[in-house]
């Protein structure tokens, strides 16, 4: 097994220990994007302004309820802007805010990494299946 221990740099040790604090930025980021649909909705909106129906068609497996909840939370957090047009039938558009674009950067990186490392997830699934069979 590979040794992934850190050097004994005291400054690095302080940073490593801070990761455990609940207000540490990395922990707050993970809390924000840990929802299954948040990164996917952000990624969808990074391609431009979308109507609700467009997003629902573009994101397989997301229910209307989950899309609505995710968009509402992202809007509340200031990551998504919602524009409602007073027309018949009503039209609503969603787009990333400047803050949403800033969050999209690490999300895009994670998505790219996941695509390039699909075998990691295949191995994890095999491990979980083997563990479930042996229980």
Angle at 69 between CA 112 and CA 87, to 5 degrees: 105
> What whole-number distance in Å separates Cα of residue 84 and Cα of residue 103?
24
Span 6-30, average pLDDT: 69
Residue 66 has pLDDT above 70, yes or no: yes
Residue 98 has pLDDT above 80, yes or no: yes
Q: pLDDT value at position 2? A: 55
pTM to 2 decimal places: 0.75
Q: pLDDT value at position 8? A: 61
Residue 51 has pLDDT above 80, yes or no: yes
Residue 92 has pLDDT above 80, yes or no: yes
Residue 23 has pLDDT above 80, yes or no: no
Work out the burial of residue 96: count CB atoms within 10 Å of its CB; fewer than 13 is exposed, 13-18 middle, 19 or more buried.
buried
Q: pLDDT value at position 74? A: 96
Range from 7-11, 24-28, 108-112, 122-126 carrying the lowest mean pLDDT: 7-11
- Tokens representing residue 56 in the block: 């629902």
Q: What's the pLDDT band for 32 if we cut at 50, 70, 90?
A: confident
């Amino acid at each position: 097994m590979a040794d992934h221990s850190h050097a004994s740099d005291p400054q690095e040790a302080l940073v490593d220990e801070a990761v455990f604090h609940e207000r540490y930025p990395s922990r707050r980021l993970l809390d924000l994007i840990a929802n299954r649909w948040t990164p996917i909705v952000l990624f969808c909106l990074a391609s431009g302004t979308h109507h609700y129906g467009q997003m629902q068609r573009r994101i397989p497996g997301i229910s209307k309820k989950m899309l609505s909840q995710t968009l509402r939370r992202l809007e509340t957090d200031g990551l998504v802007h919602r524009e409602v047009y007073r027309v018949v039938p009503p039209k609503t558009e969603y787009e990333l805010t400047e803050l949403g674009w800033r969050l999209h950067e690490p999300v895009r990186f994670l998505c790219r990494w996941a695509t390039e490392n699909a075998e990691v997830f295949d191995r994890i699934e095999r491990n979980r299946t083997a563990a479930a069979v042996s229980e």
